Amino acid sequence: MKLELRCPAAAENAPEHARVAVELFAREFERELDFSPVSIEDVDTQLEQLREEGLTAEDLGEALFAVGCYLGEVMVLALHGRWRATKGSALDGISPWPMVVTLADDSAWDVIGKVFRRFEIGDSEYLPAYFASAAGRLG
């Protein structure tokens, strides 16, 4: 899948990609995303609606990438994580995406891949549960 992004897909640009998701949700769905953990429920609900409409990951590649960055940015802000390159992380060789979120326990989270899986597979990839799992690791 070839993505046409506003800026390069790199850890330092993840917050900018997350802002693209905020703009998209405001414009297309009249939903305000505020980078809070509770907003992940709105994201999950909207992804399910798009999925039920028959859209594909190919149709929504850039949007799903941005939403993955949004999920990651919520984790960075709420769980004191950080963006880093996948290469050299615990997900090196596992995640095809160029950046992941890492937490204080050095766990790495494939937030972009998770959003794509949520969209492609469905409810079993529920985003609020993913966030809760990450939060639970920190005690």
Ranges of each domain in the chain: 11-79+112-137
Q: Are the beta carbons of 71 and 131 closer than 8 angstroms? A: yes
pLDDT (mean) for 61-65? 94
pLDDT-derived band at 5, boundaries 50, 70, 90: confident
pLDDT of residue 139: 67
SS3 120: helix
For residue 132, is pLDDT > 70? yes
Residues 6+ apart with CB under 8 A from 138: 79, 103, 104, 105
| Strands annotated E in the chain | 82-85, 99-102, 108-109
Q: Would you say residue 2 has pLDDT above 60?
A: no
What's the pTM?
0.95
**pLDDT at residue 1, as a whole number:** 45
Q: Which of 40-49, 54-63, 113-122 has the lowest mean pLDDT?
A: 54-63
Residue 89 binned pLDDT confidence (cut-offs 50, 70, 90): very high
Residues composing the chain: 139
